[in-house]
């Protein structure tokens, strides 16, 4: 990879390994060239080899000769590197047909459920536009059918603009590598032809909708311990795809989500990782699961807000300028294929050493059982368990099968009263 770029505005070579970029008379040059693409001319920076010869090896791999400047950290050392931008293309006819079909399907589903829906809805100031704006009792949902590539910065910028106007964005993609995943509220659908999208056949949400799963990690649990593979005795809480729930849940249809999101039956959530608040997952979940999540996590155990990342100081190696395009040679930078962003693994895993008492419907009582050995033996025969598995009901203190596989926290009568 070349360690410099050509500035098409100033007609100068920029040396990325030098602190002054080779131009001590331009102190603001670093800030200028590191602006986000949407805030500057896309063709401001050019591959040095392309500028000199008219061709470079990146163009053979369907990349453009235009460059962006990024920071790269390797072994704790942060330097500036130049990366080729992708070729800018307009949506293909197939993408445009799918986009139009999905917009019409969303509007049709909204009307079928008695909701208001506007295609190509613009704000009163004309600064934002939603592919479909669906309005229900829970508010406004701005659906965006995204079949063509889009950058993460564009997704964030447009989502923020929409949210500032009281609209919840909901992006739809058919690509599990799309940059919009986890950058804003989103769902993923199958890559169907436009005729199937426009038809009445089922169109299922494959990613972005999850259900809450919580389980006590005991030897009798149906799931292995996600921490060490064996039972740890704690409580695990995580968000899973419908098919991976126990028991499995049906996939949500796009048509159903149109109504459920506008009516508040499904809600958007941003779930930070337990030990790394900067890492988070965005998902849509049933409102009841959201309420249970909040009850389990509890306000006293709420996770801190993510701190803005701090930028590492740059290191300049003062190397000689190299104008050779080395696209693809360095696999540790930005020329690799996009990673898959939509994963089937459970998200937002949280583990508690024991079940928080606040989530018990029947409050925990003093753990004492005042019975004779004969009474304990009789209770074990009645419950069909071992003598040492007999313990007090948490609600009324009656001897029950309290410990071991198949045990219960409370007797059947107390559980019925707690429903």
| Cα–Cα nearest to 207, from 238, 176, 177 | 176
Q: Which residues contact 19 (CB under 8 A, 6 or more apart)?
A: 314, 316
Q: In whole angstroms, give the CA distance from residue 35 to residue 41.
A: 10
The whole-angstrom separation of Cα 82 and Cα 14 is 11
For 2-11, 160-169, 184-193, 351-360, which range has the lowest pLDDT when averaged over its residues?
351-360
**For 114-162, what is each residue's pLDDT tens digit?**
999 999 999 888 888 999 999 999 999 999 999 988 878 889 989 999 9
pLDDT at residue 90, rounded to an integer: 62
Residue 278 has pLDDT above 80, yes or no: no
The per-residue pLDDT for range 204-255, each reduced to its tens digit, is 999 999 999 999 888 878 888 988 878 888 889 999 999 999 999 999 999 9
- Whether the bond between 247 and the residue before it is cis, its omega within 30 degrees of 0, is yes
> Quick one: which of 385, 264, 327 has its CA closest to 84?
327
For residue 350, what are the β-bridge partners? 237
Task: Find all residues with CB under 8 Å of 17, minimum gap 6, and list them.
Answer: 3, 4, 79, 80, 316, 317, 318, 319
Please tell me whether residue 132 adopts helix, strand or coil conformation: strand
- Tokens 């009798």: give the residue: 220
CA of 357: how far to CAs of 236, 295, 352, 353, 361, in Å? 15, 10, 11, 12, 9
**235 phi and psi, to 5 degrees?**
-110, 125
Handedness of CA 352, 356, 362, 363 (dihedral sign): positive
Per-residue pLDDT at 357 exceeds 90: no
Nearest 10 degrees: CA dihedral of 209, 212, 215, 220?
A: -40
pLDDT, position 144: 97
pLDDT in tens, 55-77: 888 877 767 889 989 888 777 78
Q: What is the pLDDT of residues 254-267, one digit of tens each?
A: 999 999 999 999 99
For the segment 2-25, the average pLDDT, to the nearest whole number, is 93
Closest-CA residue to 142 (of 105, 103, 169, 104): 169
Give per-residue pLDDT as tens, 310-351: 556 888 999 999 888 877 665 433 433 456 788 888 888 888
Integer-rounded Cα Rg, in Å, for the chain is 28
Q: Tokens for 56?
A: 């470079």
* pLDDT tens figures, 74-107: 777 889 988 888 776 566 677 789 999 999 999 9
Angstrom distance (rounded) from CA 238 to CA 215? 9
Alpha helices in 54-165 (DSSP H): 93-112, 152-163
Q: What's the pLDDT at 329?
A: 67
pLDDT reading at 358 higher than 70: no
pLDDT digits (tens, 9 = 90+) for 389-406: 998 888 888 899 988 777
Ranges of beta strands (E only) in 101-234 are 116-122, 129-136, 139-145, 167-173, 186-189, 205-207, 211-216
- Provide the 3-class DSSP secondary structure of residue 277: coil
Task: Give this prediction's pTM.
Answer: 0.67
- pLDDT band of residue 302 (cuts 50, 70, 90) is very low
Residue 394: per-residue pLDDT: 81
How much is the mean pLDDT over the chain? 86
CA distance 12 to 8: 7
What's the rounded Cα separation, in Å, for the pair 98 and 104? 10
Which residue from 116, 106, 105, 62 is spatially nearest to 84, judged by alpha carbons?
Answer: 62
């Amino acid at each position: 990879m070349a360690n410099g770029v050509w500035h098409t505005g100033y007609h100068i070579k920029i040396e990325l390994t030098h602190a002054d970029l080779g131009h001590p008379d331009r102190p603001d040059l670093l800030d200028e060239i590191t602006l986000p693409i949407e805030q500057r001319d896309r063709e401001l920076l050019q591959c040095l080899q392309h500028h000199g010869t008219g061709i470079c090896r990146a163009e053979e791999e369907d990349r453009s000769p235009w460059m962006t400047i990024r920071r790269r950290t390797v072994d704790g050392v942060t330097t500036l590197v130049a990366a080729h931008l992708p070729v800018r293309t307009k949506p293909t006819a197939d993408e445009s047909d799918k986009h139009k079909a999905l917009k019409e399907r969303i509007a049709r589903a909204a009307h079928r459920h008695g909701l208001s829906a506007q295609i190509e809805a613009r704000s009163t100031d004309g600064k934002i536009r939603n592919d479909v704006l669906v309005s229900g009792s829970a508010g406004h949902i701005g659906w965006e059918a995204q079949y063509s590539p889009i950058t993460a910065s564009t997704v964030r910028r447009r989502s923020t603009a929409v949210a500032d106007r009281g609209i919840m964005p909901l992006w739809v993609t058919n690509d599990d590598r799309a940059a919009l995943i986890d950058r804003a509220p989103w769902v993923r659908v199958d890559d169907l032809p436009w005729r199937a999208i426009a038809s009445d056949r089922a169109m299922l949400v494959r990613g972005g909708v999850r259900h809450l799963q919580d389980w006590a990690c005991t030897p009798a649990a149906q799931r292995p311990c996600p921490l060490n593979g064996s039972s740890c005795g704690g409580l695990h809480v995580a968000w899973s795809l419908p098919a991976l729930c126990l028991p499995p849940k049906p996939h949500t249809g796009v048509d159903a989500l149109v109504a459920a999101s506008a009516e508040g039956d499904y809600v958007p959530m941003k779930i930070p990782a337990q030990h790394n608040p900067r890492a988070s997952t965005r998902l849509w979940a049933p409102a009841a699961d959201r309420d249970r999540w909040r009850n389990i996590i509890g306000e006293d155990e709420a996770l801190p807000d993510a701190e803005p990342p701090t930028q590492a100081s740059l290191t300049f190696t003062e190397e000689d300028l190299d104008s050779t395009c080395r696209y693809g040679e360095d696999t540790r930078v930005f020329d690799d294929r996009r990673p898959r962003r939509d994963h089937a693994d459970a998200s937002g895993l949280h583990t508690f050493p024991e079940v928080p008492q606040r989530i018990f419907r029947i409050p925990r009582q003093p753990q004492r059982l005042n019975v004779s050995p004969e009474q304990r033996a009789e209770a074990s025969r009645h419950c069909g368990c071992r003598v040492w598995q007999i313990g007090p009901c948490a609600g009324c203190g009656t001897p029950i099968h309290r410990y071991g596989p198949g045990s219960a926290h409370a007797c059947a009568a107390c559980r019925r009263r707690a429903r």
